[in-house]
Amino acid sequence: MNITVIGTGYVGLVSGACLSELGAHVTCVDLDEGKVERLKQGIMPIYEPGLEDIVVTNHEAGKLDFTTDTGAAVAKSDAVFIAVGTPQADGQAEADMSYVYGAAKGIAPHLKGYTVIIDKSTVPVGTARRVAEIIRAENPNADFDVASNPEFLREGSAVGDFMRPDRVVLGADTERAMTVLRRIYRPLALTGVPVEECNPETAEMAKYASNSFLAAKITFINQVADLCEKSGADVEDVARSMGLDKRIGPMFLKAGPGYGGSCFPKDTNAFAVIGRRNGSPQHLVEAVITANEDRKRRMCERIVEACGGSVEGKTIAVLGLTFKPDTDDVRDSPALTIVSKLHEMGARVKAHDPMGAEHAQAIFGKQAAEICDEPYACATGADAVAVVTDWAHFKTLDLKRLAATVRGKVVVDMRNIWDADEAIANGFDYHCIGRAPRFAAREQAAPLRRAAE
């Protein structure tokens, strides 16, 4: 099949590359000439494990092309995926649909023969109908259908999620369109991947409902963690016990500083707007949004409390700036809130992240934090160390070496990645999530008191 993907952002590039890996001939379209040329040279605009390999391999094999010429690409296509951004509109909670509608207008004049237009972007319910209206108004003689095929890609594991998904959701109103969709995803169906066929509205709703539910699950365990700290329970053990229940499952039950990234914040906000506009307010989702924003602010307060009530004039080392490991995405990362607020409170902030440092600094500014190339340099001279993102190499840091570089022996581990006993043994006061803090000075003094008695 000949497929065109409009947009070479996160969803568009991953989807286009993976579709070519499945055997289709794919042309990815982007208006940015520089970006297109870099992609032809194998230079990725995003960091995503495994993506560069399949882009380069399929481009060299002639199965994956990049162009700025929308018309030439669309004219030869059996299917056209719209995979452009739907960010939050400025100052509003709803999704900005201008890129999707603009893509529809750009596609319309170039349609030749029967073509299925497929919304891959995360879009409000009813978007497929609206896209069809736009195309029909621009090109009344076009022979086409509009379908919905939401993505369920996790940053950091997107290639695997596309090639080995939990399910594929296909939303179309006509058997003709559904036949094309089945052809596209036949290689995955043959491996046993469940394929859910439905109407476009159901597919559009499934995406928002899925992300909102996962965001609610994260927020729930974060609030349980707060209760564990007050009651003497251990949130890690609680989450493990909950996750063994097949009705609940272990995924997204990891307490931390709150969710971020390109999906959950904007999708929960958009879902809440959809609910209100349809006269069916999503009160649970609205509460999740509020709780998550409070969570980010509360994490900064944790650092202040661990430092004795003030960070003014103190140096705080922040390990991790991306919203999760294995990505360079810092959008709505809890670290952005934490760094900015620490700076406002008079702290000197040093920060390190393996992939997202430059993106983060572009948002919070050079004055807010000094960026360090590696974690030990980041911790040197610090009064406290805060772990915000659970990058794999943070988990294996030498705590003895770390203790030798810091000025203060305070750790605020927002991801519970370090062993409390090891931290105490190296002289740190260890503050974590969902457990009572442990204080090295107090615990090391206890044996001496017992000996004296």
Which residues participate in the annotated binding site for substrate? 152-155, 207, 252-256, 260, 324
Q: Where are the alpha helices (DSSP H) in 232-356?
A: 235-243, 264-277, 283-306, 334-344
225 contacts 235 by C-beta, under 8 angstroms? yes
The single residue of 263, 300, 372, 378 carrying the catalytic annotation is 263
Judged by DSSP in three states, 350 sits in strand
263 has catalytic annotation: yes
- From the list 73, 80, 82, 138, the residue with the least C-alpha distance to 114 is 80
Four-CA torsion 259, 260, 263, 269, nearest 10 degrees: 80
Contact 335, 361 (CB under 8 A): no
Please name the residues in contact with 110: beta carbons below 8 A apart, sequence gap of 6 or more.
Answer: 70, 71, 72, 74, 75
Residue 102 neighbours by CB under 8 Å, 6+ apart: 84
Cα distance between the two ends of the chain: 82
Biggest CA pair distance of the chain: 94
Return the exposure string of 72-111: e unless at least 16 CB atoms fall within 10 Å of the residue's CB, then b.
Answer: ebbbebbbbbbbbbbebbeeebbbbbebbbebbebbbebb
Residue numbering of the annotated binding site: 30, 35, 86, 122, 152-155, 207, 252-256, 260, 266, 324, 331
- What span, in angstroms and rounded, lies between the C-alpha atoms of 410 and 405? 12
DSSP assignment letter at 109: G
Q: Using CB atoms within 10 A of its CB, is residue 137 exposed (0-12), middle (13-18) or buried (19+)?
A: exposed
**Residues known to be catalytic:** 263
